[in-house]
Amino acid sequence: MKAIIRFFSVLAVAALMACGSSGTGPEDENPTGTGITGSWRGFYFEMTSQADPSVSVDLVQYGVAYSITINADSSYTASTTFLGSTVEENGVLQLSGNNITMVSPQNGTFNGTYTLSGDTLSMNLSGMAFDFDQDGTSEAADLSTSLLRTN
């Protein structure tokens, strides 16, 4: 049970907002001018198998809840809850145009794109892993997630 909670927590936190980037060029942005600063609550969190894109699962339907606060200095605080257990993580994100790079000391680097439409933030990330057939082995996956602004 703890392994499942940890897996979902790590997955959600890493996918949503992990830490710093090595980018230092003028194309790199902090969130201030992008409109993504603030607090967000996830309402869609779908993992899709890279080996078989017809296989996917929306983890929100299984009770995974997550939220994140993104600050103007690129720092974030994320919270993931599954089966009554909550895991929190702090870090930094890096933006460049509509690209997002998330690097977590615990979980590695994830790259993708983001869009902001009104009060909805959507991200598509690659480099994820998920155990689609519950055999104890994670397979390569892509993540599509959407979050609603709460403030």
pLDDT in tens, 124-135: 999 889 999 999
Q: How far apart are CA 29 and CA 23, in angstroms?
A: 9
pLDDT band at 73 (very low <50, low <70, confident <90, very high): confident
Determine the 3-state secondary structure of 87 from DSSP.
strand
The alpha carbon of residue 57 and the mean position of all alpha carbons in its chain are separated, in whole angstroms, by 15
Q: What is the pLDDT of residue 1?
A: 38
Domain containing 32 equals 2-149
Instruction: Provide the mean pLDDT of the chain.
Output: 80
Q: How far apart are CA 27 and CA 51, in angstroms?
A: 33
CA dihedral in degrees (60, 80, 6, 15; nearest 10)? 80
Q: What is the pLDDT of residue 55?
A: 97
Phi-psi region of 137 (alpha: psi -120 to 50; beta: other; left: phi over 0): beta
For position 37, which CATH number holds? 2.40.128
Number of independent structural domains in the chain: 1
